[in-house]
Amino acid sequence: MDRGARNLITDVPGLLVGNASDPALKSGVTVLTSTVPFVAGVSIMGGAPGTRETELLAPDKTVQEVDAIVLSGGSAFGLAACDGVSDGLVAAGRGFAVGPVRVPIVPGAILFDLLNGGAKDWTANPYPALGRAAFDAAAPDFALGSEGAGTGATTATFKGGLGSTSCRLPNGTTVAALVAVNALGSATVGEGREFWAAPWEEGQEFGGIGPASHYPKTIKTKLGGQGANTTIAIVATDAALTQAQCTRVATAAHDGMARALLPSHTPLDGDLIFAVSTGSREVQTPPEDLLLIGHTASICLARAIARGVFSARPAPGDVCPVWSA
Amino acid sequence: MDRGARNLITDVPGLLVGNASDPALKSGVTVLTSTVPFVAGVSIMGGAPGTRETELLAPDKTVQEVDAIVLSGGSAFGLAACDGVSDGLVAAGRGFAVGPVRVPIVPGAILFDLLNGGAKDWTANPYPALGRAAFDAAAPDFALGSEGAGTGATTATFKGGLGSTSCRLPNGTTVAALVAVNALGSATVGEGREFWAAPWEEGQEFGGIGPASHYPKTIKTKLGGQGANTTIAIVATDAALTQAQCTRVATAAHDGMARALLPSHTPLDGDLIFAVSTGSREVQTPPEDLLLIGHTASICLARAIARGVFSARPAPGDVCPVWSA
C-alpha cells in the first residue's frame, strides 16, 4: 500500500503534531492537535495505564470530539502536560462550549521514564510547560526518535522513541499512526537487529534489513532491570468515523502492538491506543471499510513502532544502546 | 520452552475436553470441563461476539468459578449447546449451590458456520444434544482439526479447525490453549502455506515448513465470500490465579490471535478468549509470573491456531481446501 507524502500521522489532512523535549530530564511531551475538534476513541489493553480524560471517550458519553491528545513521559507526573496544552487551547479560543466558557478537551496518557538516567529531582512539575511548548510547536512536520514523549523511552534491547507512519488506501482514505515506544519487551528479534515488524516495512523506513532468519524461544524483557514501561499510541484517519467506530479501530490497532513488540500488553505495561477521525472525508463508513481501516491502523502502528526504535539517537547518560549504533 | 506430554490444553492437570460433531450439519461443539469448578475470566476484542454467561466473569461479579466452558458452531443457535452441558452437569450433581438447588455455570461462545455447505435446515435446534454429547465425551485426550466447534470452520485461505497446544514453564507451571479457528482472515501468509505463527512452532506440530520468505502487502479475507467468521479460544494454567488475573491473561492472550491471524479482531469477527485457572498449584502469582503466563498463553494460542488449520481434514461439500491437501 502507498505511504502518504510525509509518512507521518500528519498525512491525515488537518492533523498537527508538536514535540517538546528536556534533554537533562530525559523526557518530553508530544501533542496531537488540529485547528478544529476531532472525534476520538480509546482502547486500553495494558495492565498499568496512566490516563486522563479517557472515560469521556466512551461512545455513550456526551462529548464526542477532543481538541488535542497528549502523549507524555513522566509517569503520573506527566499527566500535568495536559494542563499546559489546555492553557494553549484557551489562548487560542478553543474548547467545548458551556455557555460563555470554553473547556478544552485534552485526553492524555503517559509512559514511565523515571528510571532512565535523567535528572528527575525537580521541585515544580516540569510537564505543564513541556505540554504548552509541544502545543505551540504543533505543525505538519515533526521529528521522530528521541523527541517528545519518546525522548527518554527505552525497550528491553534498544532505546525506544517516537515513531510515525502513514498509508493511503486505494479509495483515497489515509490511515496513520503515532507512537511513543517504551515497551517492557523488545521490537527486535532475540539478540539481533531485525524488527518483528519487518514483514510490513515500506521502503527502508526502518532500515530495510528484512525479517529475522532465526527465532529464539526466549524473550527479552526489562524485568530485573530499570522496569520502566508502556507504549502509547494514536492512530488516525480522515474517514468519517463515529466515536464508537474510533473505539473499534483503536481495538484492532492493538494487533500492531502485538506484532511489533514481544511481549506486549503485560501487567507492567500501560499499553493503550487512541483512535481519531478528522471526518474531513464526509462519507458513511460501512463495516467492510471499518475493517480495512482497523487492519491498516494495526499495520501502520507496527511499522511506527519499529520506526521509533530505528530513529532513536544516543544521548549522555543513556541506560541502553541505540539501534543505529 | 517444553511442551506438555499431550501438547493439549488437558496438560493442565484436571482439565477435560469433549467434542461432538455432526458431519451433515458441518458443525459441532467443544466443551472444556473438570471434575471440580475452576476460575475463569474473559476478554472480548472482536466486533461481532456471540456469548452467554460472560458478564458474570467480570472480577467484581459474585460467581468466581465455572463448571464448564462451551465453544460452539451455529452462530447464536449454538448458544443452546450450553443447555445440554448444563443438563449433563446436573446429572453429575454439579453446579453453584443456591440453597438446595445447584445451578451449573456454563459460559459459552459461538462462531458463525451457517454458510459452510452443511445442512442447516433443522426444525429443532440440534445444539443442546451436541452440547450434551460433547460433555459426556470429555476426557484428557481429544482430536484436533475438523472436530467439535472446529468441524465446519473456515479461514480466508484454508479450512479452519480445532487447535490446541501446551507449554511447561521453567518453574513447573503449565500454560495451554484451545481454539476453534474460523477467522475472516488467514493463518497463512499470502498465497503460500507458511503460517504466520511459524516463529513459535515447537517441533513439527503444524508441519515444520518454517516461516514465509516473502510477505505480500495484500491481505486475504472472506469479504465477498461466505462471510462466516469468528475465532474463539480458551487459555488455561494450573497456576493459582484470581478471576481478575485470569482476565488479564485473557487480554494478553489476544496477542497470539494478532500474531497468528491477519487480519484479526475485525468488526465482523467475534474474536474472544476465556482464561481459566485450575488453581491446583497453590501459590500466589506475582505480576512478573502473571506477565510470563500471559505471554506464554499468547504464544500457545498462536501455535494452536496454526495447529487447528494444519489438522483440518476434507469432508463432502467443503467450501474451501484443507492445508494438508
CA dihedral A282, A284, A287, A293 (to 10 degrees): 0
Strand A27-44 vs strand B51-52: parallel, antiparallel, or unpaired? unpaired
Pick the closest to residue B321 from B158, B206, B160 (CA basis): B158
Pick the closest to residue B42 from B54, B53, B31 (CA basis): B54
Count Cβ atoms within 10 A of the Cβ of residue B57 and give its class: 0-12 exposed, 13-18 middle, 19 or more buried. Answer: buried
> pLDDT, tens digit, for every residue of A53-109?
999 999 999 998 999 999 999 999 999 999 999 999 999 999 999 999 999 999 999
Asked if residue A175 has pLDDT above 70, the reply is yes
> pLDDT, tens digit, for every residue of A129-172?
999 999 999 999 999 999 999 999 999 999 999 999 999 999 89
B295 touching chain A per CB within 8 A: yes
A127-136 helix and A81-91 helix, angle to the nearest 10 degrees: 40
Residue A283's pLDDT is 64
B244 touching chain A per CB within 8 A: no
Instruction: Name the B residues in 247-266 with CB < 8 Å from any A CB.
Output: 248, 251-252, 254-259, 262-266
Yes or no, beta carbons of B258 and A259 under 8 Å apart:
yes
Domain ranges of chain B: 9-310
State the smallest CA–CA distance between residue A263 and chain B in angstroms. Answer: 6
Sign of CA dihedral A317, A318, A321, B1: positive
Comparing CB atoms, the residue among A254, A256, A291 nearest residue B266 is A291
- The residue-averaged pLDDT of A182-200 equals 97
Cis ω on the peptide bond leading into residue A104 (within 30° of 0)?
Answer: no
For residue A189, the chain B residues in CB contact (below 8 A) are 199
Residue B285's pLDDT is 78
Of the two residues A149 and A285, the one the predictor is more confident about is: A149
Give the number of other Cβ atoms within 10 Å of residue A280's Cβ.
Answer: 17
CATH topology of domain A9-310: L-amino peptidase D-ALA esterase/amidase (3.60.70)
Per-residue confidence in pLDDT tens, chain B, 325 aa: 689 999 999 999 999 999 999 999 999 999 999 999 999 999 999 999 999 999 999 999 999 899 999 999 999 999 999 999 999 999 999 999 999 999 999 999 999 999 998 999 999 999 999 999 999 999 999 999 999 999 999 999 999 999 999 999 998 999 999 999 999 999 999 999 999 999 999 999 999 999 999 999 888 888 766 567 999 999 999 999 999 999 999 999 999 999 999 999 999 999 999 999 998 665 677 888 999 999 999 999 999 999 999 999 999 999 899 999 8
Place of cell 471499518: A290
Residue A266's pLDDT is 95
Residue B325's pLDDT is 84
Task: Spell out the alpha helix ranges (H) of chain A.
Answer: 81-91, 127-136, 243-260, 287-310
State the smallest CA–CA distance between residue A167 and chain B in angstroms. Answer: 12
> pLDDT, tens digit, for every residue of A11-46?
999 999 999 999 999 999 999 999 999 999 999 999
State the smallest CA–CA distance between residue A266 and chain B in angstroms. Answer: 5
User: Distance between CA B95 and CA A2 in Å, rounded?
Assistant: 56
Distances (CA, A) of B46 to A255, A270, B273: 12, 21, 10
Comparing CB atoms, the residue among B1, B217, B287 nearest residue A268 is B287
Give the number of other Cβ atoms within 10 Å of residue B61's Cβ.
Answer: 10
Residue type, B69: I
Mean pLDDT of chain A: 95
User: Distance between CA B85 and CA B71 in Å, rounded?
Assistant: 11
Asked if residue A226 has pLDDT above 80, the reply is no
Pick the closest to residue A236 from A279, A291, A268 (CA basis): A279
* Rg, chain A, Cα only: 18
Residue B286's pLDDT is 84
Strand A232-239 vs strand A272-281: parallel, antiparallel, or unpaired? parallel
Pick the closest to residue B268 from B15, B138, B75, B136 (CA basis): B75
User: Distance between CA A189 and CA A135 in Å, rounded?
Assistant: 36
Q: What are phi and psi of A125, to 5 degrees?
A: -55, 120
Q: Which of A265, A272, A289 to mutate to test the interface with B (most CBs of B within 10 A)?
A: A265
Asked if residue A282 has pLDDT above 80, the reply is no
State the smallest CA–CA distance between residue A303 and chain B in angstroms. Answer: 13
Residue B218's pLDDT is 84
Yes or no, beta carbons of A45 and B266 under 8 Å apart:
no
CA of B184: which chain A residue's CA is closest?
Answer: A291
Distances (CA, A) of B165 to A305, B10, B43, B202, B258: 30, 9, 20, 9, 17
Residue B227's pLDDT is 60
A307 touching chain B per CB within 8 A: no
State the smallest CA–CA distance between residue A44 and chain B in angstroms. Answer: 10
Cell of A315: 544521548
For residue A264, the chain B residues in CB contact (below 8 A) are 255
Residue A325's pLDDT is 84
For residue B184, the chain A residues in CB contact (below 8 A) are 291
Residue B47's pLDDT is 93
Q: What three-state secondary structure class fits A233? A: strand
Residue A225's pLDDT is 60
For residue A215, the chain B residues in CB contact (below 8 A) are 199-200, 211
State the smallest CA–CA distance between residue B235 and chain A in angstroms. Answer: 16
Cis ω on the peptide bond leading into residue A263 (within 30° of 0)?
Answer: yes
User: Distance between CA A46 and CA A266 in Å, rounded?
Assistant: 6
| Cβ-contact B261, B156 below 8 angstroms | no
pTM of the model: 0.95
